[in-house]
Amino acid sequence: MIRCVRMWTGPDGDSLFEEGTIALTEGERGDFVGAAVAARRLSFQETASGGAYAWHQDPVPRFVITLSGTLEFETRSGRTFTIRPGDVLLAQDNSGSGHRWRLIGDEPWRRAYIVYEEGADLPFTPAPHQG
């Protein structure tokens, strides 16, 4: 399973997040395969170690796949989560108060941004909530 954190804008305008996974099913050769998602645009970006980004929203709904680097994300409520290499961020907080992030450690943050088609069936499965 691939770890995924989904971030979106709540009714009060603040960013919320939940942990989950990218849904995979058994495929050929013992691989596990996720459903294809129609994509509009793919781009890559790198931020040097020690980087940070102040409060912002994501410009468009998209997947952010971390290739290297470890980050701490924070919402206005003070809640935080960590993204590591191989994790996927499903960035849907495109309005409201947004979030900020900072790099932890000595690695640069290398990532792929994948803007998906509006209305696409997304393979995110929320983790069961612990009560």
What is the reported pTM? 0.92
Which runs of E-coded beta strand occur in 23-128? 25-26, 32-33, 39-47, 52-56, 62-68, 70-75, 80-83, 88-92, 99-104, 109-116, 124-126
| Residue 129, pLDDT score | 74
| Residue 103, pLDDT score | 97
Q: 91: closest CA among 5, 24, 10, 1? A: 5
115 pLDDT band (50/70/90 cuts)? very high
Q: Is the pLDDT of residue 130 over 90?
A: no
The rounded distance, in Å, linking the Cα atoms of 17 and 5 is 7
Residue located via tokens 């943050």: 109
- Six-digit token string for 63: 């997947």
pLDDT digit string, tens, across residues 21-51: 998 999 889 899 998 999 999 999 999 999 9
Average of per-residue pLDDT values in the chain: 94
| Residue 91, pLDDT score | 97
1 pLDDT band (50/70/90 cuts)? confident
Q: Is the pLDDT of residue 131 over 90?
A: no
